[in-house]
Amino acid sequence: MNILKKLFPPKQTPIETTLTITSKNGFHLRPIAEFANKTKAFQSTITIIGKNQEVSATQVPKILALALEKDESFILKCIGNDAQQANEYLTNFFEQLMHDDLEVKMVEQEADHYEAKALHGTTIAKGIAIGTVIEYFKTVKHSSEAPCTFDEALNLTAQDLDQLYKENQTNQEAQIFLAQKALLDSDLFQKHFDQIDEEIQKLKGTPFESRIADYQDLQKRIHSHMGINSEFKLPADVDTIIIANELLPSEVEELSKLSRIKGVILRQGSSTSHAAILLRAFKIPTLICHEKIIASGEYYSSILDTISGQFINLPTQSDFEKAKQKAHQFKTEQKTSYTKRFEPTITKDGKSINVFANITDINSAKKAKEQGADGVGLLRTEFLFTEIKPTLEQQTQAYQSILELFDDVTIRTLDIGGDKSLPYIHIEKEDNPFLGIRGIRFSLQEQTLFREQLLAVGLASANIPNKKIKIMFPMVSTPEEFTQAKNITLEVAKEHNLSVENIQFGIMLEVPSVIFALPEFDALVDFYSIGTNDLTQYLFAIERTHPTLSIDPVSPILLTALKQIMTTAKKPISICGELAGIESVTQTLIEMGYTTLSVSANLIPSLKERIRHV
């Protein structure tokens, strides 16, 4: 019988789950690459079924070719010994990807008028450029040196992308290089260019046609290692505005190093393309203009005003004066906010405001420090746990390295459940995971992880004496949950002879029940931090990733709730949700009495300067 089982193993039943694209950006390269990478952690055979096709969930090009848009669905199919675990983890991970994949909002243009005729377009990156319009044309050159083989060029390209990712790890553009690396690692790029060209053809005419540039960019990188290079020549000593059909990500990198390139006009493309992300990162004034623009070949200056979304080919003298003054003002404002990022943030009426950072690890902590963060308002510790379970020593070192950078750090304990999961922890599938075992409820059930995390925080604190640390428990809904969590912390400290003298205890205020029990919580907690994202979700009973329902992030109802919290609570309160970074709400929050706002690191310089004018 055992021999028969080995020869004819029982057929395994596939586990299938239907998943829906809720991101307005669709299921595009960056989240696909992250999703494909996670599937490799499981032994089961994992596929995606969509649009009458079944493709491997590890093959980025095949998933990308499905061109799955918002509101479309696919079936996640898992077959194997760990199929159940794979299905549950990947389902939760996909939902988290959709939640985190924020829509790239159109850059708001400011109305303005020039004397000469202007062509209008879509702003990609703001700024003012004055220069000669030059057509972006590259000539191909073959190296005389012995070129690399295709396989050697693949390996070198992979190394290039790894290096670019490491160099830009704290920036948004790092995800581009990680996604391109995942594309490069697929079966498609292990063959040759003919099949890559076929894949490009499949993307033409789809909503993800802009991703063709990533295939072409990888081809270009591989070619360069094989001795085939393209070269763009600038005219000598002339400030230029480049006009091109579109640009590859690597070409944007090259252009960013040329100081005489003042701006870019694209005839096609989108604000979500990887080239667009890099153009914004490098702060190169860029406009997508579908109107006919031809470089004349004559060396006269034109104006590119992407603040108002205009290109003026033949400006008047008055137009030049206006553009120069506008450029000076724009640069001054940018420079002022950045150079003053370390200065105290004080409103016009003398109120001091703390601007903290939301971070995930030491790299994002370093970026926050460089951007002028006054402290850490939210350390999302679950990012330390995503791939494999960290050791006690790894956790302790991670917390300690961040504590060494800042005098004020709020460490949020594991916020698992809902749309977040761990590959090595089994969480029973729930019909309503956002209303189930998540946050502090998970930690109180899974105390092994919780106690080890608390011990790591305690050890880090002991290694840096006399520094205040805040431990924050997520998704607390009753005073009893907070008391139980704090008592566990005290038990851990006592067991290991650790002092809690420099540790404060607080909660993430994101469950509406807390609002009605603030007097009871005031008697227990040292501080509150309002997570406006989840608070909004629970106030309106609308899941943040819902495909058709949405919530106004600045709803008067939410603002009324925030005002009630500030009026009622007696302990210090901060805000660390997305709301804190919305320009139109800053003054309202300060007028309510909020004096600590915690946002993404890249928003800190401009938010500080904005507050100084409140």
What is the rounded CA–CA span in Å between residue 200 and residue 166? 28
What is the rounded CA–CA span in Å between residue 419 and residue 34? 15
What is the rounded CA–CA span in Å between residue 282 and residue 470? 36
Write out 254-313 in H/E/C secondary structure: HHHCCCCEEEEEECCCCCCCHHHHHHHHCCCCEEECCCCCCCCCCCCCEEEECCCCEEEC
What is the rounded CA–CA span in Å between residue 467 and residue 36? 42
Nearest Cα residue to 309 out of 183, 482, 449, 125? 125
What is the rounded CA–CA span in Å between residue 355 and residue 336? 17
Under a CB-based contact definition with an 8 Å cutoff, are residues 70 and 272 in contact?
no
Please state the φ and ψ torsions of residue 538, each to the nearest 5 degrees: -80, -30
Residue 148 falls in the annotated catalytic set: no
Question: What is the identity of the amino acid at 101?
Answer: D
Residue 351 burial (CB count, 10 A) = 14
What is the rounded CA–CA span in Å between residue 3 and residue 10? 12
Give Cα 330 to chain centroid, integer Å: 26
Catalytic residue among 28, 78, 274, 289: 274
Catalytic residue among 28, 78, 223, 576: 576
* 486-500 as b/e: b if 16+ CB within 10 A: bebbeebbeeeebeb
Grouping H, G, I as helix, E, B as strand and the rest as coil, residue 36 is helix
Under a CB-based contact definition with an 8 Å cutoff, are residues 36 and 67 in contact?
no
DSSP character string of 516-533: GGHHHHHTT-SEEEE-HH
- H/E element holding 421? none
Question: In sequence order, what are the residues at sequence separation of 6 or more whose Cβ sits closer than 8 angstroms to the Cβ of residue 46?
Answer: 39, 56, 57, 58, 76, 77, 78, 86, 90
Question: Which residue in the block uniquely carries the two structure tokens 């000669």?
Answer: 132
Residue 78 falls in the annotated catalytic set: no
Grouping H, G, I as helix, E, B as strand and the rest as coil, residue 345 is strand
What is the rounded CA–CA span in Å between residue 169 and residue 193? 30
What sign has the CA pseudo-torsion 265, 267, 269, 274?
negative
Residues classed as catalytic: 274, 576
